[in-house]
Amino acid sequence: MSKIRAGIIGATGYAGAEIIKLLAFHPEVEIVFVGSRSYADQKLASIFGNLYEIVDLTCIDDDTERMKEEIYRLADQVDVIFTATPQGACASFVTKELLEKVKVIDLSADFRLKDVAVYEHWYKIEHKAPELIENAVYGLVEVNREKIPQARLLANPGCYTTCSILTAYPLVKEGLIDPDTLIVDALSGVSGAGRGGKVANLYCEVNESAKAYGVATHRHTPEIEEQLGYACGREITVTFTPHLAPMNRGILVTAYASLVRKSDGTLPSGEELRSVYSRYYDKERFIRVLPDGVCPETRFVEGSNYLDVNCKVDPRTGRVIMMGALDNLMKGAASQAVQNMNLMFGLPEETGISMAPVLP
């Protein structure tokens, strides 16, 4: 079989660069082009020195307006395009015709939400390709695996959402918690804030500090609600609070919900809950249900496609505390995108993304 030819738009953000690194070592992929608006015509390795002598590619100009025409020519050269672009960009140039030529894996939020009104409400922008939403596949592999191979347009989930949904999913799906009580408290490393030259993300503004942000308004909220709503078969509303912590990578989710009492009036035990997690996830290559009493730590998943989960019952309050950790640039973005690509092209799911986490 000849190699999958891939192009990456938005290659000089952190997620884009991570995709390139993964694809450069992927045994079944050849990178054909990489695009960047800010670094057009520059060697990729002059921006990401780690790729020096490893990736010898020069960025083409992927200005969104320019892409509206250019993308068809580019599509002829590749089998798949990854878009690691700001919200709205992908929707502005992807079309039905384009999808007949090439598969698209979009790392932005453009095709994650099925309700265009919800998208426009939370993202404050008009959706330019609402007709494509229905057939877009939400690429949360461990929940949606069967639908992914047929996808032409794949919506790669957000970093907070991947971690939040998968951390709560088994208990929501099994009706063991009351979804209306679900509160997701999460923290992220700084690479989640992007690679733009903003004062707010300078080293000295972020280092040695922690803060909540986007309180009650963060855009990943409806994505969590939609997917967990599917799991419990009705619309739900959750509280989601993201925090910024001074580290490069990592998402840590601590989620709270009231347990549903059993028919005998007792609370489910920790053992019962953990056995549900095991039932859902033990067969999963990239989700690790940790031993009883062990809390996920972001350092133990850094640089890998793993998600670590666990839970703890608090019998005093009748709540369960669910915990999850992943690397926002990997399982939360790039390696999950490659995991989806593998499925879309009939490859073993773990191809090119089976590396162990880096420590320390």
Q: Which residues carry out catalysis?
A: 159
To 5 degrees, how large is the angle CA 191–CA 251–CA 345? Answer: 85
Please list every residue from 19 through 38 that binds a copy of itself, using CB under 8 A. Answer: 21, 24-25
Cross-strand pairs, 30: 5
Could you tell me the smallest distance in angstroms from the CB atom of residue 177 to a copy of itself? 13
Please list every residue from 233 through 272 that binds a copy of itself, using CB under 8 A. Answer: 237-239, 241, 243, 245-250, 252, 254, 256
Backbone angles phi, psi at 242, to 5 degrees: -90, 150
Q: Which of 53, 97, 100, 134 binds a copy of itself (CB under 8 A)?
A: 53
- Does the footprint of a copy of itself cover residue 302 (CB under 8 A)? yes
Please list every residue from 192 through 211 that binds a copy of itself, using CB under 8 A. Answer: 195-199, 201-211
- Check: CB of residue 169 under 8 Å from CB of residue 228: yes
Q: Which two tokens stand for residue 19?
A: 């995709």
Could you tell me the smallest distance in angstroms from the CB atom of residue 188 to a copy of itself? 9
Measured from the CB atom, the residue of 16 and 75 that comes closer to a copy of itself is 16
80-83: strand order across its sheet:
29-35, 4-9, 80-83, 103-106, 153-155, 137-138
Interface pattern 56-85 for a copy of itself (x via CB under 8 A): ------------------------------
Q: How many CB atoms lie within 10 A of CB 3?
A: 13
Smallest CA-to-CA distance from 251 within 332, 339, 338 is with 332
Residue 194: which residues within 8 A CB-CB, separation 6 or more? 13, 14, 201
Q: What's the CA gap between 98 and 92, in Å, rounded?
A: 12
- Does the footprint of a copy of itself cover residue 146 (CB under 8 A)? no
Could you tell me the smallest distance in angstroms from the CB atom of residue 203 to a copy of itself? 4
Q: Which of 155, 313, 341, 347 binds a copy of itself (CB under 8 A)?
A: 313
> Residues in contact with a copy of itself, total (CB under 8 A)?
84
Stretch that binds a copy of itself, among 73-81, 97-105, 110-118, 351-359 (CB under 8 A): 351-359
Q: What's the CA gap between 353 and 24, in Å, rounded?
A: 12
Q: What's the CA gap between 141 and 143, in Å, rounded?
A: 5
Q: What's the CA gap between 129 and 96, in Å, rounded?
A: 9
Q: Which of 187, 232, 341, 344 binds a copy of itself (CB under 8 A)?
A: 187
Residue type, 360: P
Q: Which of 15, 17, 84, 168 binds a copy of itself (CB under 8 A)?
A: 17
Instruction: Quote the DSSP letter at residue 312.
Output: E
Q: Which of 3, 42, 54, 233 binds a copy of itself (CB under 8 A)?
A: 54
Measured from the CB atom, the residue of 95 and 258 that comes closer to a copy of itself is 258
Could you tell me the smallest distance in angstroms from the CB atom of residue 72 to a copy of itself? 31
Measured from the CB atom, the residue of 158 and 250 that comes closer to a copy of itself is 250
